[in-house]
A = this chain, B = another copy of it.
Amino acid sequence: MLMNTTYSSPIVTVDSVLFQLVQQKLAVLLITRVHQPFAGMHALPGGYVGAGETTLTAMTRIMHAKAGVVLAQCGVVEQLYTFDTVARDPRGHAVSVTYMALGRDIVPQVRSDTHHPQCFAMNALPDIAFDHAQIIQYAHERLKSKISYTNAIYALLPELFTLSQLQAAYEAVVSHPLDKRNFRKKILGLEIIHETDQTFRDGAHRPARLYRFNTQALTTFNEF
């Protein structure tokens, strides 16, 4: 077995950006740090990777321990990027293999070690420890890009949804309003959703058709 000290290798850590829609806003899960450095500040759920543990195994373990969230319940979980600047952790050089998770109705559980997991709207983020604000920004860019060439947004939505609800989800991710007519033309042209025979009645409006994604698996379009 190689000893890390032979090569003075950086420490390996993991951090995860869990996005979901809360009241039609894009929101991210943060915990409150218990220990120094940055004790009392908000941060992404994360921690150390042990030798013999994959980064996803570590992330699953830590997400459950610190936020009471079962990572596998998210529709999309993917590796985001490995952040590796030398000064990002004041305790010493630690690289962070980061993950992006997309979920719906994920309710964090306050557990015994009291990390106070909570979701924050992206437009109301608090001060955040380490380089985690940068990691969240990177994840947001990835998500914006990803919904332009995949069906990834399915993971943020319920199984059945109206076109208005779908448009609101895209708008929450791209952070600006979309033209209704162009949106409908584009989304129907992509052939990633289909009409169901069900409708939804909201107040005095006429019932709106409910749609469903063709698949609840990540698929890419626009390929050459």
Residues of A within 8 A of B (CB): 1-5, 7-12, 48-56, 79, 81-82, 84-86, 91-95, 97, 144-145, 147-149, 170, 174, 178, 186, 220, 222-224
Contacts and interface: CB of A to CB of B under 8 A. Distances in A.
A contact face: mostly helix, strand, loop, or mixed = loop
Nearest to A13: B9
B2 A148 contact: no
Given A2-B92, A5-B5, A148-B149, 16 more contacts: A1-B92, A2-B91, A7-B11, A9-B9, A9-B48, A9-B49, A9-B50, A49-B84, A51-B93, A54-B84, A55-B84, A79-B82, A144-B223, A145-B149, A174-B223, A178-B224
Nearest to A221: B148
A7 B4 CA distance: 10
A170 B224 CA distance: 8
6 contacts: A1-B92, A4-B11, A9-B11, A10-B49, A82-B97, A174-B223
Residue among A2, A5, A186, A220 with max Cβ neighbours from chain B (10 Å):
A2
A4 B54 CA distance: 16
B86 A54 contact: yes
A147 to B, nearest CB: 6
Given A53-B86, A91-B2, A9 B7 contact: no
A6 to B, nearest CB: 9
A55 B9 contact: no
A11 B51 CA distance: 8
Contacts of A178: 224
